[in-house]
């Protein structure tokens, strides 16, 4: 057995193995599952992203396949007792179909909504979008990926013409002379990626990290900028100001390949580094050192992540860093560029093919008549029958159960009771529904509120494809069939479509669904027409866009032109503005949220794995020693973090790695420790991204 492999037990089956990918983050590490003598072994696999490495979550991923809390039968809410009780599949699906017909009959088609997840395969994300628009004919569909990369996606589209997390292979990070990470902590969120950063360091490269906390990643940096949360945009503009002043602008590149630079130049001319130091707390000397490291490097890469993006000005913040990258001539230059570190396993593919409120497959806009005609032809329905755009995730959830909002919600692969901002309000909205249906393999906090819970297959029990943070389309391969009583999401959607008399077929075979997806995406920005399962199997995945099965794929974008009408990138002037909620006498501190190494997302899966629970047993609140002393709080004391929306309780973790004016809480736990009870539901006006990363709070010691 490979060192560090983890096992999960199951009654004996014939020996088998499957080369697949980890079910967690967008790195999509290659792994092998081997089942023999009733035990499932996780082995690392050499793959370009993880290069044979796995993190603790990957090593333990198989433990959930036969977890004692695994759902294996549908559950129905007993109207007499209010309890969830086992039921047959026919009874459960009949209840869902009848509930949908009743709600839509009384309130219209848009009274039923769908909420998806960034962990669904491309096939399931595609089928879910098709189900919403064709079987339900509702405009209301969105997904939890809206809270992951939507700000970077919107900024990328308006500046570069396309949304692909990394427009170059991950290995390019190891070749960059200067690498700037903004709001990213891959040492904890995707540890195998650090192998590429190690390559960069071994080649003499310089790593710079911008983060309010001294994270595990920041400790490895040559330079760490520690700004006040919510001031990244000001920092980016100051860096461009310095680049202009010191002559680092690639004027030939700007003239030949971009438009709009003069307006940005005029805007950043007033972004004096001394003023930005006052706003952000980042010393002028550090701003200057960062600008010089980027401006003098032979190759440089700028990466943003959730720390910069999960703000009510997230699109503008990412735009400011893209402006900096364009001014330095980085996008499309060998070994250089701008990119975004996608978080969820299929956060990229999940939004490309129909889960977002305003998109059709292939990253087509749903309000584009030509896009509607193309997709409608593939689906075999009139284009006029397709609904129009819906609303972003938080607006959708916040409208549930209201007079003008949806009265029924179908949830696939998400847990908004824990993951949504202002979570207590969203929990209340879910309770107000006439019908809540949750498809999952564990009883999440959202499933506990459902009228119907449908047990669905896990990652190792179904074939399909995923698209990782590089835009690399990968194959997920099944090791075994789902347990008795469990169905795939595709089968659930097909059964419901039949009961609802949908006008077209909903295939249950993922290969068939992918073939349809390829046709639907053909000619769109995210063109998968040339991506086949056979082609993926013959190599280490296929990069989109790939329009021709016999032609090349696209591991690197922007070498000759940008995917805009004239082939040129666009500068956009953006200015700093305060957070949606500023500190006050009653709420004098800033709260920021994030992840820890051993847990993932809302914790539905990882909180049930023994080794991960032991490594990270519960929530905590980080406080700087100076702040703790002022509050009379010692390490381990229970504290209450209070905002205008709610409170969380957890033990204090006193550490100098956080700013004295800021506290930090991870968001993986439910109940009293739920960080999103406190977070702000203000959203970016362009992307719909909530302001997870900053709100005003006070901290109180809880007397024992």
Residue 132 is given by DSSP the state I
Nearest to 569 by CA among 338, 331, 365: 331
Rounded distance between C-alpha atoms, residue 277 and residue 265, angstroms: 20
Phi, psi of 364 (to 5 degrees): -85, 150
Percentage of residues of the chain with pLDDT beyond 90: 95
Rounded distance between C-alpha atoms, residue 137 and residue 273, angstroms: 52
Rounded distance between C-alpha atoms, residue 278 and residue 338, angstroms: 27
Tokens 């990363």 label which residue?
693
What are the tens digits of pLDDT across the range 84-125?
Answer: 999 999 999 999 999 999 999 999 999 999 999 999 999 999
| Assigned CATH topology for domain 150-340 | Dimethylsulfoxide Reductase; domain 2 (3.40.228)
What are the tens digits of pLDDT across the range 60-80?
Answer: 999 999 999 999 999 999 999
Q: Does domain 7-64 have CATH number 3.40.50.720?
A: no
Q: Determine whether 66 is exposed, middle or buried from the number of CB atoms within 10 Å of its CB (0-12, 13-18, 19+).
A: middle
Predicted model pTM: 0.96
The DSSP element (H or E) to which 36 belongs, if any, is strand 30-36
Q: What is the DSSP string of 526-579?
A: S--TT--HHHHHHTT-EESP---TTS---SS--SS--SSTTS-EE---------
Nearest to 420 by CA among 184, 182, 117: 117
What are the tens digits of pLDDT across the range 290-329?
Answer: 999 999 999 999 999 999 999 999 999 999 999 999 999 9
Rounded distance between C-alpha atoms, residue 140 and residue 399, angstroms: 11
Confidence class for position 38, pLDDT limits 50, 70, 90: confident
| Assigned CATH topology for domain 90-147+346-508 | Rossmann fold (3.40.50)
What are the tens digits of pLDDT across the range 592-618?
Answer: 999 999 999 999 999 999 999 999 999
The answer on pLDDT for 7 being more than 80 is no
Structure tokens at 236: 């980016």
Q: Determine whether 107 is exposed, middle or buried from the number of CB atoms within 10 Å of its CB (0-12, 13-18, 19+).
A: middle
Q: What is the DSSP string of 103-131?
A: HHHHH-GGGEEEEE-TTS-HHHHHHHHHI
∠ at Cα 109 (142, 143), nearest 5°? 5
Q: Does domain 589-701 have CATH number 3.40.640.10?
A: no
Rounded distance between C-alpha atoms, residue 134 and residue 138, angstroms: 8
Q: What is the pLDDT of residue 14?
A: 54
Is the N-terminal amide bond of 545 cis, ω within 30° of 0? yes
Structure tokens at 271: 């972004």
In three state form, how does the secondary structure of 414-476 look?
CCHHHHCCCHHHHHHHHHCCCEEEEEECCCCCCHHHCCEEEEECCHHHCCEEEECCCCEEEEE
The DSSP element (H or E) to which 232 belongs, if any, is helix 232-246
Structure tokens at 564: 């805009």
Give me the mean pLDDT over the 512-537 stretch.
97
What are the tens digits of pLDDT across the range 235-278?
Answer: 999 999 999 999 999 999 999 999 999 999 999 999 999 999 99
* Domain boundaries defined on the chain: 7-64, 90-147+346-508, 150-340, 589-701
């Amino acid at each position: 057995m490979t060192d560090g492999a983890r096992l999960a037990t199951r009654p004996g089956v014939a020996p088998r193995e499957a080369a697949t990918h980890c079910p967690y983050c967008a790195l999509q590490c290659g792994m092998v599952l081997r089942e023999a003598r009733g035990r499932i072994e996780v082995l690392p696999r050499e793959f370009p992203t993880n290069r044979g490495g796995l993190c603790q979550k990957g090593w333990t991923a198989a433990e959930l396949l036969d977890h004692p809390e695994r759902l294996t039968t549908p559950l129905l809410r007993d109207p007499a007792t209010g309890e969830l009780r086992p039921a047959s599949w026919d009874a459960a699906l009949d209840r869902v179909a009848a509930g949908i017909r009743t709600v839509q009959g009384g309130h219209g088609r848009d009274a039923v909504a769908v909420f998806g997840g960034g962990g669904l395969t491309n096939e399931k994300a595609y089928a879910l979008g098709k189900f919403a628009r064709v079987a339900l004919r509702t405009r209301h569909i969105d997904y939890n990926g809206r809270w992951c990369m939507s700000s970077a996606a919107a900024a990328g589209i308006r500046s570069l013409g396309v949304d692909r997390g990394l427009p170059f292979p991950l290995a390019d990070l190891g070749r960059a002379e200067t690498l700037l990470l903004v709001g990213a902590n891959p040492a904890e969120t995707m540890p195998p990626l650090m192998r590429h950063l190690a390559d960069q360091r071994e080649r003499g490269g310089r790593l710079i990290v911008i983060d309010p906390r001294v994270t595990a990643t920041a400790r490895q940096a040559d330079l760490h900028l520690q700004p006040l949360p919510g001031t990244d945009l000001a920092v980016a503009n100051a860096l461009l100001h310095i680049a202009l002043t010191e002559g680092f602008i690639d004027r030939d590149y700007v003239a030949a390949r971009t438009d709009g630079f003069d307006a940005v130049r005029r805007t950043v001319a007033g972004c004096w580094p001394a003023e930005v130091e006052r706003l952000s707390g980042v010393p002028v000397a550090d701003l200057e050192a960062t600008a010089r490291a980027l401006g003098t490097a032979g190759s440089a890469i700028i990466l943003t992540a959730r720390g910069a993006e999960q703000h009510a000005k997230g699109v503008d913040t990412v735009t400011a860093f893209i402006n900096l990258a364009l001014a330095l001539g980085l996008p499309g230059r060998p070994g250089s560029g701008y990119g975004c570190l996608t978080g969820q396993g299929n956060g990229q593919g999940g939004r490309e093919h129909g889960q977002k409120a305003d998109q059709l497959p292939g990253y087509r806009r749903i309000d584009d008549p030509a896009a509607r005609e193309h997709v409608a032809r593939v689906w075999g329905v009139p284009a006029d029958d397709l609904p129009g755009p819906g609303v972003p995730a938080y607006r959708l959830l916040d409208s549930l159960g209201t007079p003008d909002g949806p009265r029924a919600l179908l949830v696939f692969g998400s847990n908004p009771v824990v993951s949504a901002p202002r979570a207590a309000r969203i929990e209340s909205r879910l309770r107000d529904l006439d019908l809540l249906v949750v498809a999952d393999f564990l009883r999440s906090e959202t499933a506990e509120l459902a009228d119907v819970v449908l047990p669905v297959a896990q990652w190792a029990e179904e074939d399909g494809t995923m698209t990782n943070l590089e835009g690399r389309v990968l194959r997920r391969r099944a090791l075994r069939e789902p347990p008795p009583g469990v169905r795939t999401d595709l089968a659930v959607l097909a059964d419901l479509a039949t009961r609802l008399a949908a006008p077209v077929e909903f295939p249950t075979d993922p290969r068939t669904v992918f073939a349809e997806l390829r046709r639907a995406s053909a000619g769109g920005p995210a063109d998968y027409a040339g991506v086949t399962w056979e082609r993926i199997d013959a190599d280490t995945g296929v990069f989109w866009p790939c329009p021709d099965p016999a032609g090349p794929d696209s591991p690197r974008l922007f070498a000759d032109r940008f995917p805009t009408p004239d082939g040129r990138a666009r500068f956009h002037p953006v200015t700093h503005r305060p957070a949606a909620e500023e500190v006050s006498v009653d709420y004098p501190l800033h709260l920021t949220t994030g992840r820890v190494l051993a847990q993932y997302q809302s914790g539905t899966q990882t909180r049930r794995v023994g080794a991960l629970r032991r490594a990270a047993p519960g929530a905590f609140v980080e406080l700087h020693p100076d702040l703790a002393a002022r509050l009379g709080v010692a390490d381990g004391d229970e504290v209450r973090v209070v905002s205008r929306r709610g409170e969380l309780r957890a033990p204090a973790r006193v550490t100098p790695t956080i700013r004295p004016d800021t506290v930090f809480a991870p968001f993986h736990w439910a109940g009293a420790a739920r960080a999103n009870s406190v977070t702000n539901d203000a959203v970016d006006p362009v992307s719909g991204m909530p302001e997870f990363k900053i709100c005003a709070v006070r901290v109180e010691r809880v007397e024992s």
